[in-house]
Amino acid sequence: MDAPRAERTDLLPVPDGKSGCPINLTVELLGDRWSLVVLRDVMFGDHRHFRELLTHSLEGIASNILAARLAKLVDAGLLTRHDDPSHRQKIEYRLTEAAIQLVPVLVQLGTWGARWLPTSPELAIRAQLLGQGGPEMAERFMDELRAMHLAGRPARPDGVLAELTRAYQRAAGIA
């Protein structure tokens, strides 16, 4: 069980396949098919319960995968679990500050996807609006998410989230 490799000393091949690079650690945590999609649905769709995420999601995540992702995100400190007064078995998942600070990441991902990938127009609208809104709009959105998920206040009808949702519904032709 000796280690005959690693002759170089400058650029180190890290033994256990990990590295302290910020991009690498973030990709290690969120770089899979579903983690960011789940967070997207919590943020933009305001889906906070298991069934809601399971059935209202556009892409159709499997229930075991969703359960595993939620557990991982809770473990990573991006979501917190809360009892729901309306049903003893119901669990509410809320965003943490760490998750809310992922908004700029999602905005950039959405902006890039809307620019370079074959997105459907009605879904791309939210990404375009947020991207055009710049850091100020992202800041407003993050403050709104803080009010909703950290302070427990309801979504305000004149907020960014409502504006995005209305733009989407208008584009999707919902009468």
Partner DNA sequence: CACTTCTGATTGCAAGTAACAACCGGTGGT
Partner DNA sequence: ACCACCGGTTGTTACTTGCAATCAGAAGTG
Residue 21 binding its own copies, by CB under 8 A: yes
Determine whether 103 is exposed, middle or buried from the number of CB atoms within 10 Å of its CB (0-12, 13-18, 19+). buried
Which listed residue (59, 75, 136, 158) binds its own copies by CB under 8 A? 59
Which listed residue (72, 104, 167, 171) binds its own copies by CB under 8 A? 104
- Grouping H, G, I as helix, E, B as strand and the rest as coil, residue 81 is strand
Task: State which residue, 124 or 160, has the beta carbon closest to its own copies.
Answer: 124
Task: State which residue, 63 or 101, has the beta carbon closest to DNA.
Answer: 63
Which listed residue (1, 23, 151, 175) binds its own copies by CB under 8 A? 23
Q: 82 contacts which partner out of DNA, its own copies, none, CB within 5 to 8 A by kind?
A: none
Distance CA 130, CA 89 (A): 36
| CB-side neighbour CA atoms (13 Å) of 96 | 11
Cβ-based neighbours of 159, under 8 Å, separated by 6 or more:
140, 141, 144
Task: State which residue, 143 or 169, has the beta carbon closest to its own copies.
Answer: 169
Distance CA 67, CA 91 (A): 12
Residue 17 binding its own copies, by CB under 8 A: yes
Residues 110-129 close enough to bind its own copies by CB under 8 A? 110-120, 123-124, 127
Residue 42 binding its own copies, by CB under 8 A: no
The CB density around residue 62, as the number of other CB atoms within 10 Å, is 10
Q: Which of 145, 138, 76 is nearest to 109 (CA)?
A: 138
Q: Are 141 and 130 in contact (CB under 8 A)?
A: yes
Residue 68 binding its own copies, by CB under 8 A: no
Q: Kindly report the backbone phi and psi dihedral angles of residue 148, in degrees, each rounded to the nearest multiple of 5, phi listed first.
A: -75, -45
Site size toward its own copies (CB under 8 A) is 55
Task: State which residue, 40 or 90, has the beta carbon closest to DNA.
Answer: 90
Q: Where on the chain is the footprint of its own copies (CB under 8 A)? A: 8, 10-14, 17-29, 31-33, 36-37, 40, 55-60, 77, 98, 101-102, 104-106, 108-120, 123-124, 127, 174
